[in-house]
Amino acid sequence: MHPRRATLVAFCDTETGASRSRRIARHLAKCAKCREELGRIERERDQLSARTAEPAADVRQGLAAVLSAIAAWQEGRNGAAASELKARLRWQMETYFGSPAASALEGTGIRAEEMFGKASEMLEVFLGPQAAEAVSDDIFRGVDWAEPAGEICR
Amino acid sequence: MPITRKSSLDGIESAPRWIVVFLGAYLIVHLFALYFWNMAGHAFSIEGTSGSTSALPVTAMAAVNLWLCLLVLRSFPAGAPLRRAWMLITCAAVAQAAAGALAQLLGSDWQLNPLLWGGQARAALVEQIRHGALIAGGPVQLALLAAGMLAALRVLRKFGFWVRPSAADWAVASIVYVFTLCRFGEAGAASLAGRPIGIEDWSSLAGLPFLCVLVLEALLLRQSVVHMGNGLISKCWAAFMCGIFLTGAGEMALWVIPHFSHAWPIEMIGSLITFPAAAAFALAPACLVAAQRRAIKPASDRPEGLATSVPALAP
């Protein structure tokens, strides 16, 4: 009776017991078909070992590609939320201070988190902490962030 | 800290509107009185009534100002940058309200003043109270206000709302400085000529250096407000600026007019300036209280929603 393929794989990996290994070895000495099967298993194992040892750099590149794709996707979502946050901040600043103050705060290329930090500081100083907190709450209400807004902006 | 939002509002956010309405009504009534007096060929006196009738609204406005200042002060916790400024501004409001109340209740000659019931001894006390009220409502109030404005300007400077005074600002300030010098010169000449200087004049003279500082601060405030814009917080500081300019204009008008004409009802004209100045000072904390209440008010209660106001946010 021929040993099963799984048994041959275990034999190849020397995972079978001593008596069972002896029995398999006696069978292989008589059976060409099983010797051929064992040879195929050994070739496959060698190929697999060669692949896992050699291209570590490729795996890292692949992982980086996956992470960058995730980041791009998140950035796309956060970018929309950031522009919405900026619009809301500008509106609140115009309401409480005026357009020139809002324009001065917005500047060029300022990040939404930075703008929010400056605006909330100004509101806290000139409006009082409780009212400033309420304004911040209003600004963030309903903004769809990829991750909690508080972790990004506060 | 969780945000607690009031479900019912006390309507205090409409305080600026009410102050402007009262100011408008006051000015209309007084200007009509002045017009009819002029049309009637000065046939009747409006000086007798204007002094007492103008002081009461000014005192009432000072009380409103004090109440609003206390509300604002309470909203700034200890250590907040503007706490010191609002503390000094509130102290100035206390001085103004106390001066008005003392002058109107215990320092007046009306029959319901309990201090006048005791005869001559109490009459001296009434006079002292009147003098105390003049000092509290004059130099003390102006000094406290100048210190408060200085503290506020330092905070404004920290946030970039600071501009050096321009040539036009110095020109405006120099008018007040020249006026101050004229007043001191006149007082010095009167003193040398042996003419007595009343307590009213002394208290007014003592307040003039503070008024000079205040006018310069108001000019800087004006620049800061221009850089800020026309928001609710900006309106608060703009109201202070107006109050200071009106106070300065009142001081100058009350000194200049008698030099040109004695026919003008100086009390009436004084009331036409002092009440708007008091209203402007009350308007400042009222604007800030309105801004704070607006911020704390739930979004659904506002006249217009955020989404409808900002086209980019509209669904």
Based on the domain organization, do A81 and A34 belong to the same domain? Answer: no
Say yes or no for a CB contact (<8 Å) between A138 and B306: yes
Find the helix or strand (DSSP H, E) in which B274 lies. Answer: helix B266-296
Mean pLDDT in residue range A44-61 = 67
d(CA B290, CA B285): 8
Handedness of CA A19, A20, A21, A22 (dihedral sign): positive
Higher pLDDT, B312 or B191: B191
pLDDT at B47: 57
* pLDDT band at A45; cut points 50, 70, 90: confident
Q: Which of A85, A121, A126, A137 to mutate to test the interface with B (most CBs of B within 10 A)?
A: A126
* pLDDT band at A53; cut points 50, 70, 90: low
pLDDT at B283: 94
pLDDT at B125: 76
Confirm or reject contact between A107 and chain B (CB < 8 A).
no
Mean pLDDT in residue range B191-197 = 83
**Do residues B271 and B30 touch, judged by C-beta distance below 8 A?**
yes
d(CA B285, CA B85): 12
Mean pLDDT in residue range B185-203 = 85
ipTM metric:
0.75
| pTM, two decimal places | 0.72
- Closest A-chain CA to B82: A125
Minimum mean pLDDT range among A2-16, A44-58, B2-16, B24-38: B2-16
d(CA A49, CA A57): 16
d(CA A124, CA A133): 8
Mean of pLDDT over chain B: 81
Higher pLDDT, B71 or A73: B71
Domains of chain B, by residue range, sit at 12-295
Higher pLDDT, A73 or B142: B142
Name every chain B residue with its beta carbon within 8 A of the beta carbon of A101. Answer: 161, 227-229, 231, 234
pLDDT tens per residue, range A60-81: 676 776 676 666 655 655 667 7
Based on the domain organization, do A9 and A82 belong to the same domain? Answer: no
- Looking at the partner chain, which of A93, A125, A127 has a beta carbon nearest the beta carbon of B291? A127
Number of domains into which chain A is organized: 2
Confirm or reject contact between B12 and chain A (CB < 8 A).
no
Q: Which CATH code for domain B12-295?
A: 1.20.1070
- Looking at the partner chain, which of A84, A101, A133 has a beta carbon nearest the beta carbon of B313? A84
Based on the domain organization, do A43 and A78 belong to the same domain? Answer: no
Contacts of A14 by beta carbon, 8 Å cutoff, 6+ apart: A21
End position of a domain, from candidates A37, A53, A69:
A53
Minimum mean pLDDT range among B36-45, B71-80, B145-154: B36-45
Say yes or no for a CB contact (<8 Å) between B3 and A133: yes
pLDDT tens per residue, range B31-63: 888 888 777 776 666 655 444 555 788 889 999
Residue A130 lies in domain: 60-153
Shortest distance, CA A71 to any CA of chain B (angstroms)? 25
Based on the domain organization, do A64 and A43 belong to the same domain? Answer: no
- Closest A-chain CA to B291: A96
- Looking at the partner chain, which of B77, B228, B292 has a beta carbon nearest the beta carbon of A100? B228
Mean pLDDT in residue range B193-220 = 88
Higher pLDDT, A55 or A122: A122
Q: Which residues of B133-169 are buried (b: 16+ CB within 10 A; e: fewer)?
A: bbbbbbbbbbbbbbbbbbbbbebbeebebebeeeeeb
Indicate whether B171 pLDDT > 80: yes
How big is the A-B interface in CB pairs under 8 Å?
Answer: 92
What does the block give as tokens for A93?
């600043």
Contacts of B263 by beta carbon, 8 Å cutoff, 6+ apart: B42
Shortest distance, CA B304 to any CA of chain A (angstroms)? 12
Minimum mean pLDDT range among B6-15, B64-73, B90-99: B6-15
pLDDT at B6: 44
Highest mean pLDDT among A77-81, B1-5, B199-203, B278-282: B278-282
Handedness of CA B114, B120, B122, B124 (dihedral sign): positive
Contacts of A135 by beta carbon, 8 Å cutoff, 6+ apart: A92, A96, A120, A123, A127, B295
Shortest distance, CA B172 to any CA of chain A (angstroms)? 25
Say yes or no for a CB contact (<8 Å) between B299 and A96: no
Based on the domain organization, do A66 and A92 belong to the same domain? Answer: yes
Q: Which of B76, B84, B163, B304 to mutate to test the interface with A (most CBs of A within 10 A)?
A: B76
d(CA B295, CA B301): 11
Confirm or reject contact between A125 and chain B (CB < 8 A).
yes
Q: What are phi and psi of B43, to 5 degrees?
A: -70, -25
Confirm or reject contact between B228 and chain A (CB < 8 A).
yes
Indicate whether B25 pLDDT > 70: yes
**Do residues B68 and B285 touch, judged by C-beta distance below 8 A?**
yes
Give the amino acid at B31. L
Indicate whether B26 pLDDT > 60: yes
d(CA A44, CA B3): 65
Percentage of chain B lying above the pLDDT 70 cut? 80
Indicate whether A121 pLDDT > 80: yes
Name every chain A residue with its beta carbon within 8 A of the beta carbon of B76. Answer: 128
Mean pLDDT in residue range A1-19 = 79
- Looking at the partner chain, which of B82, B226, B229 has a beta carbon nearest the beta carbon of A94? B229
d(CA A121, CA B81): 11
Based on the domain organization, do A69 and A120 belong to the same domain? Answer: yes
d(CA B224, CA B220): 6
Say yes or no for a CB contact (<8 Å) between A130 and B82: no
* pLDDT band at A116; cut points 50, 70, 90: confident
Shortest distance, CA B231 to any CA of chain A (angstroms)? 4
Contacts of A148 by beta carbon, 8 Å cutoff, 6+ apart: none
Name which of B54, B34, B17 is nearest B278 in CA terms.
B54
What does the block give as tokens for B272?
């036409």
Name every chain A residue with its beta carbon within 8 A of the beta carbon of B306. Answer: 88, 91, 138
Find the helix or strand (DSSP H, E) in which B98 lies. Answer: helix B83-101
